């Protein structure tokens, strides 16, 4: 059988022969992930099941990234509960405080996820690791609890949609724009329980960080996962992160796909997803002059060093509009240090930005950037649902880092080329 990338990775982790999409298979997992919002539920479920120990203390990651440092008593109690569980079970990969970062940027950086892995997490954006050639997906806390205890879980083998990007990326257009285009094309349920598998010359030329940004938002199209072949570029990234023994992995030529989508990106312009769904996509020029009160540059989608460089290139020598709060959140401590070493932090501070710790922060309406009634934000985050960043009467527009930075300077949404 000629296999898609999803089929091929799952086959490596199951003793059952995968024969078709829709088949139920039991798979060994490479890593189980939970954070400060979801881990308490998973741990409680695990205890309710009567499980007395985790399957492997080295293959569970608990990342306290959503509220760090804790914003109130409730969040402090959640972290305390997880911390005590981690100590009791001697969890190797527990992250809080100064060594913590946004989970989906931190784990790849630490080499904990990589090509051919099966990763499950109690967070919907676990699909990020598909940018490294891993079958990675979010599960409910109960399923994650079982995986923490057993080291395995079941999947229905997802059908795959082959997405091919041809041409070459124009100036100011990034991986974020590619995934926004796709979501706008197929809708927020266009890949429901399907694997989005990305191909083409544009994909081959993308950085691994850009691939992860695209895979991160597969869930915004309803996808089970977003997958990129692991090529030489991927292996170089994995080696730099301290991994050994990874191999290239790709779909078999002639594999069967449920649907194929091809798009020439050469004429693409930066895109914006308008409230209140990621599928409400249009060129940035169509929402030009929409005023904003906040810009957020960060998150598991666009908080990596390449994203900060893009934003800094726009902000250098310019000032943020005095009516705008521009919040910059490097996704991990190492990214923060690299941004500092490269002078990016100086650029952000000199331009009037607020630079915060490595946290999810306002992305989920957590803290450090909550919107009031009637306020609008442009953000490099992944969701713009009603009330996502604060008030139900606020609005969130999604964009790439350069558009967010340019809009912060202009005080309204704008194409970076215009400033």
Residue-level pLDDT, tens digit, the chain, 419 residues: 899 999 999 999 999 999 999 999 999 999 999 999 999 999 999 999 999 999 999 999 999 999 888 999 999 999 999 999 999 999 999 999 999 999 999 999 999 999 999 999 999 999 999 999 999 999 999 999 999 999 999 999 999 999 999 999 999 999 999 999 999 999 999 999 999 999 999 999 999 999 999 999 999 999 999 999 999 999 999 999 999 999 999 999 999 999 999 999 999 999 999 999 999 999 999 999 899 999 999 999 999 999 999 999 999 999 999 999 999 999 999 999 999 999 999 999 999 999 999 999 999 998 999 999 999 999 999 999 999 999 999 999 999 999 999 999 999 999 999 99
Q: Are 160 and 191 in contact (CB under 8 A)?
A: no
- pTM equals 0.96
Alpha helices by DSSP H, listed for 258-371, are 299-302, 305-315, 333-341, 344-350
Question: 129 CB contacts (<8 Å, ≥6 apart)?
Answer: 104, 107, 108, 113, 114, 117, 119, 136, 212, 215
Cβ pair 336, 356 in contact under 8 A: no
**In a 10 Å sphere around its CB, with 0-12 CB exposed, 13-18 middle and 19+ buried, how is residue 87 labelled?**
exposed
Write down the pLDDT at residue 328. 98
CB atoms within 10 A of CB 348: 25
**Dist CA 80 CA 73 (whole Å):** 10
Q: What angle do CA 411, 417, 419 make, to 5 degrees?
A: 40
75: nearest Cα among 33, 45, 40:
40
Fold of 5-263: Aconitase; domain 3 (3.30.499)
Asked if domains 5-263 and 271-418 share a fold, the reply is yes
Class of domain 271-418: alpha beta
| Phi, psi angle pair for 139, to nearest 5° | -130, 165
Rounded to whole angstroms, how far apart are CA atoms 348 and 354? 8
Closest C-alpha to 132, from 65, 212, 66: 212
> In this predicted structure, what is the pLDDT of residue 289?
87
- Domain spans of the chain, in order of start: 5-263, 271-418
């Amino acid at each position: 059988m000629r296999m898609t990338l999803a089929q091929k990775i799952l086959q490596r982790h199951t003793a059952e022969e995968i024969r078709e999409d829709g088949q139920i298979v039991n798979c060994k997992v490479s890593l189980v992930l939970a954070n400060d919002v979801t881990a308490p539920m998973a741990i409680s479920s695990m205890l309710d099941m009567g499980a007395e120990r985790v399957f492997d203390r080295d293959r569970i990651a608990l990342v306290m990234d959503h509220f760090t440092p804790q914003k109130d008593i409730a969040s402090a109690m959640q972290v305390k509960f997880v911390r005590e569980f981690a100590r009791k079970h001697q969890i190797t990969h527990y992250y809080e405080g100064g060594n913590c970062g946004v989970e989906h940027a931190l784990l790849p950086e630490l080499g904990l996820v990589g090509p051919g892995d099966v990763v499950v997490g109690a967070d919907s954006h676990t699909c990020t690791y598909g940018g490294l050639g891993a079958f990675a997906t979010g599960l409910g806390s109960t399923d994650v609890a079982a995986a923490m205890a057993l080291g395995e879980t079941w999947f229905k083998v997802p059908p795959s949609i082959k997405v091919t990007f041809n041409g070459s990326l124009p100036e100011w257009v990034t991986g974020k724009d590619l995934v926004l285009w796709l979501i706008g094309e197929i809708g927020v349920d266009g890949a429901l329980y399907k694997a989005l598998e990305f191909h083409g010359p544009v994909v081959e030329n993308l950085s691994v960080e850009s691939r992860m940004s695209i895979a991160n938002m597969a869930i915004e199209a309803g996808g089970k996962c977003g997958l990129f072949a692991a090529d030489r570029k991927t292996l170089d990234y994995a080696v730099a992160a301290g991994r050994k023994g990874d191999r290239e992995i790709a779909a078999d030529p002639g594999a069967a796909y449920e649907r194929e989508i091809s798009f020439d990106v050469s004429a693409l312009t930066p895109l914006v997803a308008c409230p209140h769904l990621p599928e409400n996509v249009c060129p940035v020029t169509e929402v030009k002059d929409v005023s904003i009160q906040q810009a957020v540059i960060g998150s598991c989608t666009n908080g990596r060093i390449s994203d900060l460089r893009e934003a800094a290139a726009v902000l250098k020598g310019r000032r943020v509009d005095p009516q705008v709060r521009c919040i910059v959140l490097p996704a991990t401590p190492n990214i923060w240090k690299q941004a500092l070493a490269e002078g990016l932090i100086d650029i952000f501070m000199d331009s009037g930005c607020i630079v915060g710790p490595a946290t999810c922060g306002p992305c989920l309406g957590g803290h450090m950037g909550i919107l009031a009634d009637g306020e609008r934000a442009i953000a490099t985050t992944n969701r713009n649902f009603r009330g996502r960043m604060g008030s139900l009467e606020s609005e969130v527009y999604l964009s790439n880092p350069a558009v967010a930075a340019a809009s912060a300077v202009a005080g309204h949404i704008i194409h970076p080329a215009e400033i």
